[in-house]
Structure 1
């Protein structure tokens, strides 16, 4: 769940409301493919519930759950994904189109700055965890979060619950 806090903790309430109004919920059945390696994707996703497998040529690389972001690398690079994403169980994701996001980013400078900053924090955390898996972890940094990120954590958690609540009504 910590991953989504990077994103939601640095956006404004109006930004979150815009995202809620412009995205939709998508349910995935066990085994259903959300993203296929090599195929361009049109959306960026936040996992609301369930568990997804990140895989490459049928080999599971990682499992992700509630609060994780998917499709962010293809969003940033405008390249097809290098892995596939498949539901490991009944799952629900929040989906927002790259086209709508790009329009918002082009027209709202504050949103753009906050969105890209939070995405940079998210990707930095992911890279740190990856390098830690190779034995480069400092015991003091095992699960720490910088103070500037912590400032928005409580608000981000409330925002994630707001998104969950909104989509439980649909």
Structure 2
């Protein structure tokens, strides 16, 4: 849930509403591949429930991501092909945001773009720091470990101010996505 704080502490309610409306909710089977290393993807994926394994050819599983985490965001930022494969470790649910639709929204809405890219920057910074810790100290941090053992100052103070609202926003997104999915199923 730590990732939720990064993303939803920066985004606002209208951003959450747009993502819920624009995204496609999908159930993911265990071991289903969402992103294949070296193969272009047309979506950025927000994990709503479950857990995903991130693996790299020749190295195996290098990390795990869970609820509130984006995957496929690096290819959105730099347009390079995915550098890792992402597959569900358990039955999961994810919100797929079409990359072209998201890029159009980012180009048309500067305020949203600022918040969205800031959220991604904070998320990517956290991942880089976790990688540095593993390399420097040999820690085996899957990214889903005991978050209470991490230092308080690892979170941006501006994000800390938004902790409770971030959790509420993520819960709101879950409800909105479920509502949209039920509405679509009826039509």
Question: How many correspondences in the alignment?
Answer: 168
Per the alignment, residue 43 of structure 1 pairs with 43
In structure 2, C-alpha distance between the alignment counterparts of 1:126 and 1:61, rounded to whole Å:
11
Moved over 4 A (4+): none
The yes-or-no answer on 1:165 pairing with 2:175 is yes
In structure 2, C-alpha distance between the alignment counterparts of 1:40 and 1:141, rounded to whole Å:
34
Conservation of the 8 A alpha-carbon contact between 1:4 and 1:46: no
Tell me how far 1:99 sits from its aligned partner.
0.8
TM-score (norm 1): 0.91
- RMSD in angstroms over aligned alpha carbons? 1.9
In structure 2, C-alpha distance between the alignment counterparts of 1:154 and 1:21, rounded to whole Å:
23
In structure 2, C-alpha distance between the alignment counterparts of 1:141 and 1:160, rounded to whole Å:
22
Conservation of the 8 A alpha-carbon contact between 1:51 and 1:91: yes
Tell me how far 1:141 sits from its aligned partner.
6.5
Per the alignment, residue 64 of structure 2 pairs with 63
The yes-or-no answer on 1:23 pairing with 2:33 is no
Conservation of the 8 A alpha-carbon contact between 2:17 and 2:176: no
Deviations 1:95-129 (A, max 9, x none): 11111111111111111111111111111111111
Of the candidates 132, 142, 145, which is equivalent to residue 151 of structure 2?
A: 142
Per the alignment, residue 118 of structure 1 pairs with 119
In structure 1, C-alpha distance between the alignment counterparts of 2:137 and 2:111, rounded to whole Å:
35
Q: Secondary structure at the match of 1:26?
A: strand
Conservation of the 8 A alpha-carbon contact between 2:7 and 2:68: no
Conservation of the 8 A alpha-carbon contact between 1:4 and 1:69: no
Per the alignment, residue 82 of structure 1 pairs with 83
Per the alignment, residue 94 of structure 1 pairs with 95
Unmatched 5+ residue regions in structure 2?
Answer: 139-148, 182-187
TM-score (norm 2): 0.83
